[in-house]
Amino acid sequence: MGNIFNLFGDDNSQNTNNQDSQNNSGTQGNQASSNTQANQTNGSLELHKEELDITKNTVDAGEVVLSKEVVEEQKSVDVPVMHEEVVIKRTPVNERSNASISSEETIHIPVSQEQVQVNKYTVTTEEVSASKRQVEETQQVQETLRHETANVNTTGSVDFVSDTSGFEDINKS
């Protein structure tokens, strides 16, 4: 004989099967006890459901390291420089002179030239900076949730009225 909510009647094998199915359902928390008394006139059954508890944890994703290195390169630059040359010009003269021959007379002509002097100096060419920013995105998670439903099984000629104030009729399949 089937029972309404397993609360009426005294079929112990039916109660044992229903208790086993409740224990095997894997629900957490307190389960409604199925104390069956022959002269009980009303009863209630607690239904439970699972909900998601979602938390977010911050984990390291890596790092960015900014550094610099020295790179050497050879550079050739053409620099125009000036220097002076002395031009010796000889012109034949065939004249008579009263001057005496002597090694006392000299002429000094200064000659100049440009020399290249190379100095190096540092110039800032670029600034590289790094910073962090937070970007929000949506990630979809899927999880199977369970909930309990009530089943009403009757045998024989048992009449009952279901109060459906705000709930679906649990007898509809």
> Average pLDDT for residues 115-140, to the nearest whole number?
94
The reported pLDDT for the residue numbered 172 is: 54
pLDDT above 80: residue 26: no
pLDDT of 65-88, one tens digit each? Answer: 999 999 999 999 999 999 999 999
Question: Distance (Å, rounded) from C-alpha 45 to C-alpha 163?
Answer: 14
Helices (H) and strands (E) in the chain, counts: 1, 0
Confidence band (pLDDT; 50, 70, 90) for 20?
very low
Residue from 157, 163, 149, 150 nearest 6 by CA: 150
pLDDT given for residue 87 in this prediction? 95
What pLDDT, on a 0 to 100 scale, did the predictor assign at position 4? 45
Kindly list the domain boundaries of the chain, sorted by start residue: 1-54+135-173
Distance between CA 88 and CA 90 in Å, rounded?
7
pLDDT in the model for residue 9: 41
- Rounded mean pLDDT of 105-132? 95
- The confidence score (pLDDT) of residue 107 equals 92
